[in-house]
Amino acid sequence: MRYYTAIIHQEGASAYGLTFPDLPGCFAAADSWDAIPAAATEALDLWFEDQPDVAPMSLSVVRERKDVTDGLAAGGVLLLVPYIPADTAVERINVKLERGLLRAIDETAKGRGMTRSAFLASATRRELIGV
């Protein structure tokens, strides 16, 4: 998992704007603070669909950039955004779970029209990146 730094800014009562200093042209907007993780993840997913793989800059390097210091001076804040690069290859694994937990997973997955695997992947992604 990688972490990209976003600058979050807001002018007045407008939506929150997000830009990623190490990913030119990657930006997002969120109507509330709680919506920022989903907006950031979607922006990263869309950016990497058409762009080459870019390793994130370290936080210390990002903090030294003039555009970042200007953004922070204007009231922006930095946020490290976790990103899991897309890899659609499926891999079979063997996992041990408590029987009661497994029943709860299966019931919930069935109620949502999901497979056990899809439910576990979704729950894991939400735990790792908050989306």
- 26-48 pLDDT, tens digit per residue, is 999 999 999 999 899 999 999 99
* Residue 128 confidence (pLDDT): 86
In the chain, what are the domains?
A: 2-83 (3.30.160.250), 99-129 (no CATH)
Q: Is the pLDDT of residue 131 over 90?
A: no
Q: Output the DSSP codes for 49-107.
A: HHS---PPPPHHHHHHSHHHHHHHHTT-EEEEEEE---------------HHHHHHHHH
Q: Which residue has the higher pLDDT, 85 or 120?
A: 120
* Residue 1 confidence (pLDDT): 86
Angle at which helices 116-129 and 99-111 pack, to 10 degrees?
Answer: 100
What is the average per-residue pLDDT within 127-131? 80
Q: What is the pLDDT of residues 54-110, one digit of tens each?
A: 999 999 999 999 999 999 999 999 999 998 887 778 899 999 999 999 999 999 999
* Residue 71 confidence (pLDDT): 93
| Stated pTM of the model | 0.76
Q: Is the pLDDT of residue 3 over 90?
A: yes
* Residue 89 confidence (pLDDT): 86
* Residue 53 confidence (pLDDT): 87
